[in-house]
């Protein structure tokens, strides 16, 4: 087994001047660093474009964090699954939605992703992934079955439902269960690369970028067997995020530093991002993260109200779970409670937010939760008054989850950071163009360098706007663009 090769910490690895390198172990057109969804997709497209491609993977097998994913791809615009299940969608509506949930939208990228979404769906199916022509109608984190389509974001949540026509865009690979569904996609990518004659070297990690007059022309590699240099016409960094690097997490997303569990593989240590920084890459959204502790399923719990330690609502409860959780992070002491009455009380299937207790009166509950006297009574009373009329003027909760909580006794679940079982991953990475070229601080491409997957900052910008399937969707799509463009530039 390889070690992490001293890749943790926040140190920026030194870029190496090509004039100091006397010998290269290999010379290729396109060198891919990392074999997850982004690197694998980049390698396939670069090879199909006629480039000589080499992939370096630090792990003993391909996949990285992708193999841990549930298997959703966020795609739309009228895919075959959407059409087969009777869900109308257009690239224009998809573009309006993604733009609306992005705090710092990049119009060119969003437009390309949406316009090409159907083609990208077809590319995945041609690769071997066969999405079921079926629809899962419930609200779940990941459906337990094999249905090929479900809502995985905030499409039906205010204000987004008023900005773009809601449509389900979470396309799930046909594997039951919460995790590991994307493994088959990695398997298909491995098969495709084998058919294309692309070499993948496992347990070999890139350590430094080699630069010639401002252009990235290769890498220094290291393994337990030795080290050396590889010359390349273009380099694609697809080495994952930094959630497994405690020092980087503490520096950039301190609320994740101690309490949440992290979702990542061993090599999500930010080395790829720091390699990019060594040659001047601009880093974006480094303080953003996907952090969540879902209270559902069962979705009936979303008829209740979510309040902070002051007894005030702060988010519409029917939000996608990471959106709600991100709002929790912003509350005083990152504390929040879900309040439901007996008529709507069901135990969570996965109790990530622990049940606290039940109370005969709201006043007693309020006191025991440490909420200022009268605040929760007022909040719940106002909610119940309007919910009984099918209204929610303050947060505009959807009718499906709008129900008065007036049948005591009342229960409370703890959604607070440190009490609920939060998990998450980092979102920030290198700034890139629509063709995955790494950009410097001035917005200009760094010659010879590309980035894809979790080490690039693309559509997933924060937890509030995230939808399940965004990482796999954008990782594979922009990975493909990286591979095509890198192959063309290497041969130019």
Tokens of 59: 């792990």
* pLDDT tens-place string over residues 66-94: 888 888 999 999 999 999 999 999 999 99
Q: Both 60 and 187 in a single domain?
A: yes
Q: Both 64 and 186 in a single domain?
A: yes
- Predicted confidence at residue 333, as pLDDT, reads 94
Domain membership of residue 34 (yes or no) is yes
Is the confidence at residue 260, as pLDDT, over 70?
Answer: no
CATH number at residue 232: 3.50.50.60
In which domain, by residue range, is 450 found? 16-68+182-290+423-491
* pLDDT tens-place string over residues 336-369: 999 999 999 999 877 899 999 999 999 999 999 9
78 vs 90: CA distance, rounded Å = 6
The answer to whether 397 and 318 have CB atoms below 8 angstroms apart is yes
Q: Both 300 and 405 in a single domain?
A: yes
Mean pLDDT of the chain: 93
**Res. 121 pLDDT band, cuts 50 70 90:** very high
DSSP 8-state assignment for residue 389: T
The answer to whether 107 and 170 have CB atoms below 8 angstroms apart is no
Between 248 and 143, the more confident residue is 248
CB neighbours of 235 closer than 8 A, spacing ≥ 6? 30, 31, 33, 209, 216, 218, 219, 448, 449, 450, 486
- Residue ending a domain, among 152, 172, 192, is 172
Domain membership of residue 3 (yes or no) is no
Is the confidence at residue 291, as pLDDT, over 70?
Answer: yes
Domain membership of residue 384 (yes or no) is yes
Looking up tokens 């309020």, which residue turns up? 366
Of the listed ranges 13-17, 370-374, 386-390, 456-460, the one predicted with least confidence:
456-460
Domain membership of residue 4 (yes or no) is no
CB neighbours of 21 closer than 8 A, spacing ≥ 6? 210, 218, 229
**pLDDT (average), residues 426-447:** 97
The answer to whether 22 and 284 have CB atoms below 8 angstroms apart is no
**Res. 334 pLDDT band, cuts 50 70 90:** very high
DSSP 8-state assignment for residue 334: G
**Res. 62 pLDDT band, cuts 50 70 90:** very high
**Res. 259 pLDDT band, cuts 50 70 90:** low
The total number of structural domains that make up the chain: 3
- Residue ending a domain, among 395, 414, 433, is 414
Q: Both 389 and 304 in a single domain?
A: yes
- Residue ending a domain, among 414, 433, 457, is 414
Of the listed ranges 8-17, 38-47, 273-282, 447-456, the one predicted with least confidence:
8-17
- Predicted confidence at residue 1, as pLDDT, reads 24
- Predicted confidence at residue 144, as pLDDT, reads 76
CATH number at residue 403: 3.90.700.10
* pLDDT tens-place string over residues 263-283: 788 889 999 999 999 999 999
155 vs 471: CA distance, rounded Å = 17
Q: Both 427 and 397 in a single domain?
A: no
98 vs 115: CA distance, rounded Å = 12
Domain membership of residue 6 (yes or no) is no
Q: Both 166 and 192 in a single domain?
A: no
Domain membership of residue 9 (yes or no) is no
pTM: 0.94
Q: Percentages helix, strand, coil for the chain, rounded to the nearest 5?
A: 30, 25, 45
Q: Both 363 and 325 in a single domain?
A: yes
Domain membership of residue 224 (yes or no) is yes
**pLDDT (average), residues 3-11:** 63
Is the confidence at residue 405, as pLDDT, over 60?
Answer: yes
Radius of gyration of the chain (CA): 24
Q: Both 219 and 110 in a single domain?
A: no
Q: Both 268 and 190 in a single domain?
A: yes
Q: Both 257 and 202 in a single domain?
A: yes
- Predicted confidence at residue 181, as pLDDT, reads 72
What letters, b where the CB count within 10 A reaches 16 and e where it falls short, cover 45-66? bbbbbebbbbbbbbbeebbbbb
Q: Both 187 and 56 in a single domain?
A: yes
Domain membership of residue 5 (yes or no) is no
**Res. 5 pLDDT band, cuts 50 70 90:** very low
Q: Both 194 and 257 in a single domain?
A: yes
CB neighbours of 302 closer than 8 A, spacing ≥ 6? 139, 295, 296, 317, 318, 401
């Amino acid at each position: 087994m390889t070690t992490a090769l001293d890749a943790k910490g926040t140190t920026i690895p030194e870029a190496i001047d090509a004039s100091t390198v006397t010998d290269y172990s290999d010379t290729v057109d396109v060198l891919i660093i990392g074999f997850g969804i982004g690197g694998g997709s980049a390698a396939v497209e670069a090879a199909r474009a006629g480039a000589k491609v080499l992939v370096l993977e630090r792990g003993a097998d391909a996949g990285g964090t992708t193999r841990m994913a549930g298997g959703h791809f966020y795609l739309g615009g009228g895919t075959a699954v959407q059409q087969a299940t009777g869900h109308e969608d257009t690239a224009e509506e998809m573009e309006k939605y993604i733009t609306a949930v992005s705090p710092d939208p990049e119009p060119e990228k969003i437009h390309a992703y949406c316009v090409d979404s159907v083609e990208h769906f077809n590319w995945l199916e041609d690769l071997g992934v066969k999405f079921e022509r079926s629809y899962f109608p419930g609200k779940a984190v990941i459906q337990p079955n094999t249905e090929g389509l479900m809502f995985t974001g905030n499409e039906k949540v205010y204000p987004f439902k008023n900005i773009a026509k809601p449509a389900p865009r979470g396309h799930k690979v046909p594997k039951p269960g919460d995790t590991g569904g994307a493994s088959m996609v990695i398997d298909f990518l491995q098969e495709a690369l084998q058919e294309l004659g692309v070499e993948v070297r496992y347990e070999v990690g890139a350590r430094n970028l080699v630069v010639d007059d401002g252009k990235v022309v290769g890498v220094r590699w290291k393994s337990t067997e030795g080290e050396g240099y590889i010359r390349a016409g273009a380099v694609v960094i697809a080495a994952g995020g930094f959630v497994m690097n405690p020092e980087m997490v503490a520096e950039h997303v301190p609320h994740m530093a101690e309490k949440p569990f992290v979702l990542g593989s061993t090599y999500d240590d930010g080395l790829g991002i720091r390699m990019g920084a060594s040659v001047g890459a601009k880093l974006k959204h480094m303080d953003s993260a996907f952090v969540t502790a879902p209270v559902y399923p069962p979705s009936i719990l979303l008829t209740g109200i979510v309040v902070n330690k002051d007894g005030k609502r702060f988010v519409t409860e029917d939000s996608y779970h990471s959106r709600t959780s991100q709002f929790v992070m912003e509350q005083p002491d990152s504390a929040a409670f879900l309040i439901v009455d007996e008529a709507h009380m069901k135990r969570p299937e996965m109790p990530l937010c622990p049940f606290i207790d039940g109370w005969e009166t709201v006043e007693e509950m309020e006191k025991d939760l440490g909420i200022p006297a009268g605040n929760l009574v007022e909040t719940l009373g106002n909610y119940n008054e309007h919910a009984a009329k099918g209204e929610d003027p303050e947060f505009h909760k959807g009718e499906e989850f709008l129900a008065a909580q007036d049948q005591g006794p009342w229960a409370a679940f703890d959604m607070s950071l440190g009490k609920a079982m939060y998990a998450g991953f980092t979102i920030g990475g290198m700034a890139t163009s629509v063709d995955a070229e790494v950009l410097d601080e001035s917005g200009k491409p760094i010659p010879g360098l590309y980035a894809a997957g979790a080490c690039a900052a693309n559509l997933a910008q924060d937890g509030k706007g995230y939808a399940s399937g965004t990482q796999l969707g954008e990782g594979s799509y922009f990975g493909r663009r990286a591979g095509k463009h890198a192959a063309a530039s290497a041969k130019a």
